[in-house]
Structure 1
Amino acid sequence: MSQPQRVKIAVVSDLHFCNQRAVGTGSEHSHIVLQRIKETGGKNPWADLQDLVRGENLRADLLLCPGDITTHAAHGPLKAAWSELIDLGEKLNVKSTACATGNHDVSSRYKDDNLNPIHDLDNPHDLFENLKMLKPDYPLHITGEQTTSPAGRNRRVHYFGADFVVYEDDTVRLVVFNSCARHITENTSYERGSIAHSTLAELEIQLKEMTATKINIFLSHHHPIVHTQDGVGTYDFIHNGDLLLERLADHGDWIVIHGHKHDGKIRYAPGSAGSSPVIFSAASVGALLSTEELNKYRNQFYMIDIELPATGCPRGTAQVWNWHVGRGWAKAVDTKTGLSDGVGFGEREHPDVLADMIAKELEGNTGTWAQLVGQLNFLQYLTPDALRKVLQSLERRHSLVVLRDPDSGQIIEIG
C-alpha cells in the first residue's frame, strides 16, 4: 500500500500592516505598526511571531497568506509586508511563499474629495500597479530564486492576466487566486470577491491537464460560500463561488483557504458529503479587534498538517496560537472564540456511526478525551461542527455526556 502524501503549511492572514495607528479617530485597524515592528512582549504580533517561530523551532513546507497584508492600500506598508512575509518563509524553511490579493491591498476605494480633474490626470487610478512592482515578484516566491527571474515574472504575468497562478511540487498543487480582480470603485464591487467566467474556463483547462494525484490547495482572500457573522458582511462572498467549487470538485479533492472575515472556522462546502471541498477560514494575525469581536474570535496563527491517504479525501490537524495584548502568542485553548489548538478536518462518516464506535470503546465506562483520541484515530480529524454532532448523538443514543473545562470549554472526559 502506498504511503500517504503529507505537507505542513503555515497560514498568516489579514496582517494589515500600517504606518501608524490613528488613535482616537475611530480608524484603528491593526496592531502591526511599522514604527513598532520590532517591539515584542505583546506589543506587536508580527515581532512576537518571529519569536514564536524561533523559540518553537517551527518548520513548514509552504507559507500561505490569504491577503490584506496592508491597510487601505498603503504603499509603504505593502512593500514592507511582502518583504516580511518572504523573510518569515525563510525562517520557517519553506519551499515557497504565496499571497492572494485582498481588498485592502488594491486601490479600489478611490477618494474623489477635492479631486482636480486636470492635475490628477497625471496620476491615473490603477488597482494593481503597486502589487505588480513588488520585488521579489508577487504573488508567489520560490525560496532561493533570484529576486527577478523569468519564472517569477511569468507567474506574475499569469496571475494578473488570468486572475490565478498554479504552483506544483511533488506533493502539493496550489492555486493562488485573485478574488479582487474584478474590483472597481463602485462599493458593491469592492466589498466582495468575484471570479469571471473566463477565469473559470482557463482554470478548468489547466486542471484537466494536471492528472497526478496531489494535495490540492486553493488560496483566496474572499470566501466562496456564505460566511455570516451576526448579519455583518453576509454578501461579501465570491460572486460565482458556487461555480468555482463545482469546477474544483470535478478535478480532485480540495482545501480552500481564505481570509477576509477575521473569523477562524473550518467547514465543508455544500455538495457531495464525501468529496466537497474543505473551507478553512483563517482569522487575522494583526487586525485590531473590538471587545465585542474578541468575544467571538481572536488574532490567530496556524500550522496545518495535511495528509492525503492512498484512497479518500485529505485530512488534517491544525496547531493554533492566539495573540494577546501584553502577552504575545500562546496556544489557543478556548473553544468558544474561534478555532482552538488541535482542530481537524477530513473525517466525514455519519455522526451516529462515529458515536456508536465511541460508545463501544467505552463499554459503559468513563474515558478521558486524551485516551479516546489515542484509541480512536478519527476523532482528531473531526471539524468543530462534526464533533458537536457526534457528541449530541452520544447523548441521544447512548446517554453518554461530556465533561468540559468550565473556562476553556475543552473536553475532559466522556461517560
Structure 2
Amino acid sequence: MLQVWRDLHDVADALGIPKVIGITGNHDIATRVEDMQSAAGRVEFLKQIRPSFPSDDDAFSGGYHQNGVGALELGECLVVAADTCTLHGLGKDGTTSSSIWSVGYLTHGMIDRILESIEESACSHALIIMHHHPLKVDGVVDTDYDEVPNGPLLLERLTKSSKTCFVVHGHKHLVKLRRPDADAKYPALLSAASLAAYPYLGQGSHYSNQFHLLEYDTSITERAQGTVLSWDWSAARWEPSKKQSMPHVSKFGPVPDLDKIEQALKDLGIVASVNRAKLLEAIPEIEYLTLDEIEVLNERLDSTGLEIVIRQSKVSGAMVQEGET
C-alpha cells in the first residue's frame, strides 16, 4: 500500500492532477483476529502514511479516520469517502472475525454522516466512493453473497437525497455501470475494474484490467448524468475498451425507454443508412443504451430490416438490411 500510494502521487504530478483521494481496501490493513494487535492500531498506521492518507486535506482525513466518513468539496461536486473496512481485524474468535472481514460494513452512524455531509454541502452533486460493493454486481457471474449488509439502505437514502448522487466501489474486480432503475430506487452505481489483479475463477465475462475516467455533468441538477471512459490493458499498452460490459464510452443519465426508441427508429424513414451524428441528433436517447439493450432492440427490429450498427463497441449509425424495405 505504501509504495502504491507514492506511485499514485507520482502519476498525479506527471499528469498535473491537483488532488489525490484514497480509500482503504481489505488488503491494505490487518483483517484477521490473529492480527488483533496491529488491527487495533490500524487508524494510527493510516495516519502515519506519507503523503497523507486518504488526502492532504486535514478535515477530510480527520473525518475518515475518526468516523469512517470524510467529505470534501471539489468545485460543484462533494466527494464523500466511506471506510467499509473500519471493523476489519476485530472479533472475539476466528469465526466472528471471518464474518466481519469477509464483507464490508457501513454502520447506521456512517450512513447518517454520509447523508448529513451531502445535505449540508452547498454542492448540488455528490460522488460517494467506497471499497466494498453495496449490491451484488451481477446476478449470475457474482456467485457470492458478500455485499455490504447495509448497502441497499445507503442507496435508498441517497436516492431520496435532494442532491444528485453517483456511487463508485471496487473490491469485486467485476466491472459494471448500473444506471438508476426506472422507479429510482437506487442511484447510478459503478463497479470499477481492477487495474492489475488476476481474475478469480469464473469471472471472465465481467472481468478486465481497466482504468476509468468519470466525467460528471454538473449542469444537470435533476439527475446524475455523465460519462465513464474506460481503457483496457492490451499486452503492452492501454487501449480504448471494446468490452461488452464496459466499452470505452458508457453514458449514464436519463433512463432509456426501449419502446419509444423503437418507434422513433421506425418513424425515421431510413431508406438505406444514416450515420452516427444524424442518428443521435434525431434520437439522442440511443447514446444512453447499453450494448446489451441495443442487441435487444435490434432483435425487436429484425422483422423491419432496421438495425443499429455497432463498430468497436460503439454506435456508428443505423441501416436497413439489404433486401428489406
TM-score range relative to shorter protein: 0.7 to 0.9
Q: Does 1:346 align with 2:253?
A: yes
Once the two structures are overlaid, the 10-residue window that deviates more, 369-378 or 303-312, is 369-378
Per-residue deviation at 1:97? Answer: 1.4
Which residue of 2 is the match for residue 133 of structure 1?
48
Supply the distance in 2 between the matched residues of 1:195 and 1:364 (Cα, whole angstroms): 55
Per-residue deviation at 1:373? Answer: 3.4
Supply the distance in 2 between the matched residues of 1:271 and 1:181 (Cα, whole angstroms): 33
Identity %: 24
Contact 2:256 2:285 in 1 (8 A): no
Per-residue deviation at 1:319? Answer: 2.4
> Counterpart of 1:136 in structure 2: which amino acid?
P
Match of residue 202, structure 1, among 110, 113, 126 = 113
Which residue of 1 is the match for residue 94 of structure 2?
none
Match of residue 280, structure 1, among 190, 207, 212 = 190
Per-residue deviation at 1:124? Answer: 7.0
Q: Does 1:240 align with 2:150?
A: yes
Supply the distance in 2 between the matched residues of 1:94 and 1:153 (Cα, whole angstroms): 19
Supply the distance in 1 between the matched residues of 2:39 and 2:243 (Cα, whole angstroms): 48
Contact 1:108 1:127 in 2 (8 A): no
Report Cα offsets for 1:319-362 as digits up to 9, x if no partner: 2210023x221111242xx4111121112142211222233335
Supply the distance in 2 between the matched residues of 1:378 and 1:403 (Cα, whole angstroms): 15
Distance 1:258 1:375, change over 3 A: same
Per-residue deviation at 1:367? Answer: 2.8
Which residue of 1 is the match for residue 93 of structure 2?
none
Written as runs of structure 1 = structure 2, the 5 A alignment for 1:57-206 is 78-109=1-32, 111=34, 125-141=40-56, 152-184=57-89, 186-206=97-117
Q: How many residues align?
A: 312
Per-residue deviation at 1:206? Answer: 2.8
Unaligned runs of at least 5 residues, structure 1: 1-77, 113-119, 142-151
Partner-residue secondary structure (3-state), 1:357: helix
Which residue of 2 is the match for residue 264 of structure 1?
175
Report Cα offsets for 1:113-147 as digits up to 9, x if no partner: xxxxxxx97x6753444322112221123xxxxxx
Instruction: Provide TM-score, normalisation by structure 2.
Output: 0.83
Supply the distance in 2 between the matched residues of 1:290 and 1:197 (Cα, whole angstroms): 32
Poorly superposed stretches of 4+, deviation over 6 Å: none
Alpha-carbon RMSD across the aligned residues, in angstroms, is: 3.0
Report Cα offsets for 1:16-74 as digits up to 9, x if no partner: xxxxxxxxxxxxxxxxxxxxxxxxxxxxxxxxxxxxxxxxxxxxxxxxxxxxxxxxxxx
Distance 1:390 1:163, change over 3 A: farther
Report Cα offsets for 1:215-263 as digits up to 9, x if no partner: 3211111111122374655322111111111222222221111111112
Written as runs of structure 1 = structure 2, the 5 A alignment for 1:314-353 is 314-325=224-235, 327-335=236-244, 338-353=245-260
Per-residue deviation at 1:304? Answer: 2.3
Supply the distance in 2 between the matched residues of 1:303 and 1:402 (Cα, whole angstroms): 26
Instruction: Provide TM-score, normalisation by structure 1.
Output: 0.66
Per-residue deviation at 1:284? Answer: 0.5
